[in-house]
């Protein structure tokens, strides 16, 4: 693979896999453009060198071919604004209403240096998700260099994310700037972590996080478990958890994880106390109580004061921090204190020199909500991809470029 920052794109047509899978409201307006802004530096570098960029992405999950709701055409104006925002540029953005075929190849052929072509939704073809080789080859003809900047889909072996790479010589395929920083931040945490290394895992379900916890047992010194998933562990240890979330069929797994952690000398921290509520609602009555003595009819919806104190202390003493998943139902104000104070502890540790990586939809939403995104070392754009990376899986989008 080539190094993107060293590559001179002058005269090249760069076919760039981006992740423009942004949320749209009922008026087809973009409600969060993070994924688009994250890849703008990659596009700008190609254009500044004197290259042109052909952008391809999926949007949503179209079931039956072309559907207006999922058309990337709705993104063209905003892309134009993002590329020309400061008024000094006049980057032309063209749109091809089919990602392969005559119009796409004609527009790509006539594209001049400094111009951009956005292709229609790749998933309008079933071949994309199937990783179809012929479809990938057709796409590959639209450019002479392949750049993958879509970390969010790096865990998928799709035509445009992985299969396509084989149609470019090794020196003509590379990660974009975003992909590169995602991969280096993740590698830094997983393979070059300075100790103590604390992983903070939260969210609703143990079943979603078993593989990541098992893999982290090989690397971390401390694992903090919060959120709804903590109660399966607490019940498995004999605690009374009332009506809190619990996956009874995962209790043995929870016990196995606790046992393995002991053998490997990894400290697992469960919340000693919880904020419990008498209903799952914003106006519930609440109390701070020991997490293993929750009365029937009550449920733990956030970590309690004592747990926050203990978790924060562990975090503040860490040199490497990974955070995935909220500590409670942070969408409701009454239950957001745990997530907020844990985010603040991560920010403090980062200020003192720790490397902190936050990833996964809800923890990213939380750092944004509390205005702490610029107080952590890296906020990942990849939910599922990051999770799979930390589960120890090979991500096809990364492997295809490197191989
Ligand atoms: P996940 O998608 O697995 O990371 O889970 C995120 C969701 O878990 C968020 O919507 C939280 O509201 C929810 N959550 C966190 N803590 C709890 C809890 N104690 N009880 C129920 N849901 C929770």
CATH code of residue 48: 3.40.50.1260
Please tell me the pTM assigned to this model. Answer: 0.91
Cβ atoms of 153 and 352 within 8 Å: the answer is no
Catalytic residues: 35, 205, 361, 384
Which of 182, 214, 239 is where one domain is finished? 182
Packed helices 177-191 and 34-49: angle between N→C axes, nearest 10 degrees: 120
For strands 93-96 and 293-294, give the pairing.
unpaired
Ligand 1: centre distance to CA 356 (Å): 21
Cβ atoms of 159 and 17 within 8 Å: the answer is no
The verdict on the CB of residue 382 being under 6 Å from ligand 1 is: no
Q: What range does the domain containing 364 cover? A: 193-370
Cβ atoms of 127 and 134 within 8 Å: the answer is yes
Domain count, the chain: 2
Question: What does DSSP assign to residue 75?
Answer: G
Place of tokens 């702490």: 372
Q: Round to whole Å and give the CA distance between 231 and 225.
A: 10
Cβ atoms of 296 and 243 within 8 Å: the answer is yes
The verdict on the CB of residue 204 being under 6 Å from ligand 1 is: yes
Please report, in tens digits, the pLDDT of each residue of the chain (403 residues total): 999 999 999 999 999 999 999 999 999 999 989 899 999 999 999 999 999 999 999 999 999 899 999 999 999 999 999 999 867 778 999 999 999 999 999 999 999 999 999 999 999 999 999 999 999 999 999 999 999 999 999 999 999 999 999 999 999 999 999 999 999 999 999 999 999 999 999 999 999 999 999 999 999 999 999 999 999 999 999 999 999 999 999 999 999 999 999 999 999 999 999 999 999 999 999 999 999 999 999 999 999 999 999 999 999 999 999 999 999 999 999 999 999 999 999 999 999 999 999 998 688 889 999 999 999 999 998 888 999 999 999 999 999 998 7
Q: Which of 300, 324, 329 has most ligand 1 atoms within 8 Å of CB, for mutation?
A: 329
Which of 141, 159, 182 is where one domain is finished? 182
In a domain, 325, yes or no: yes
Q: Round to whole Å and give the CA distance between 140 and 16.
A: 10
Reference 232, options 216, 213, 212, 252; nearest CA is 252
Q: Whose CA is nearest to atom 17 of ligand 1?
A: 228
Q: Which of 239, 362, 380 has most ligand 1 atoms within 8 Å of CB, for mutation?
A: 362
For strands 197-201 and 222-225, give the pairing.
parallel
């Amino acid at each position: 693979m080539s190094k993107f920052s060293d590559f001179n794109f002058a005269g090249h047509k760069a076919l760039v896999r981006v992740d423009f899978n942004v949320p749209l409201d009922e008026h087809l307006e973009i409600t969060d453009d993070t994924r688009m802004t994250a890849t703008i530096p990659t596009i700008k570098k190609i254009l500044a060198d004197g290259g042109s960029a052909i952008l391809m992405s999926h949007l949503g999950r179209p079931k039956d071919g072309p559907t207006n709701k999922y058309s990337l055409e709705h993104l063209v104006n905003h892309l134009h604004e993002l590329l020309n925002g400061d008024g000094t540029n006049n980057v032309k953005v063209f749109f091809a209403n089919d990602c392969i075929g005559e119009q796409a190849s004609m527009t790509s052929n006539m594209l001049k240096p400094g111009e951009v072509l956005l292709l229609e939704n790749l998933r309008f073809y079933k071949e994309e998700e199937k990783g179809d080789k012929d479809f990938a080859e057709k796409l590959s003809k639209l450019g002479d260099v392949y750049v993958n900047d879509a970390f969010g889909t790096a865990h998928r072996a799709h035509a445009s994310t992985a299969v396509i790479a084989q149609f470019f010589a090794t020196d003509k395929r590379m990660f974009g700037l975003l992909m590169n920083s995602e991969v280096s931040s993740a590698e830094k945490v997983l393979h070059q972590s300075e100790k103590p290394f604390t992983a903070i895992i939260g969210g609703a379900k143990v079943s979603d996080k078993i593989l990541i916890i098992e893999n982290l047992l090989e690397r971390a010194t401390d694992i903090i478990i919060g959120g709804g998933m903590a109660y399966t562990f607490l019940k498995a240890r004999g605690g009374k958890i009332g009506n809190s979330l619990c996956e009874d069929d995962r209790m043995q797994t929870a016990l196995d994880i606790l046992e393995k952690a002991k053998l490997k000398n990894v400290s697992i921290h469960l919340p000693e106390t919880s904020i419990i509520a008498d209903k799952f609602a914003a106006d519930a009555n609440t109390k701070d109580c020991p997490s293993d003595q929750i009365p029937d009819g009550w449920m733990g919806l956030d970590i309690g004061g004592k747990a926050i104190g203990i978790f924060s202390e562990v975090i503040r003493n860490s040199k490497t921090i990974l955070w995935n998943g909220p500590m409670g139902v942070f969408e409701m104000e009454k239950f957001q204190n745990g997530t907020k104070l844990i985010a603040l502890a991560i920010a403090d540790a980062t200020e003192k020199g720790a490397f902190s990586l936050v990833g996964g939809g809800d923890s990213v939403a939380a750092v944004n909500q509390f205005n702490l995104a610029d107080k952590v070392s890296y906020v990942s754009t990849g939910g599922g991809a990051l999770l799979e990376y930390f589960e120890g899986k090979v991500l096809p989008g990364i492997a295809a470029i490197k191989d």
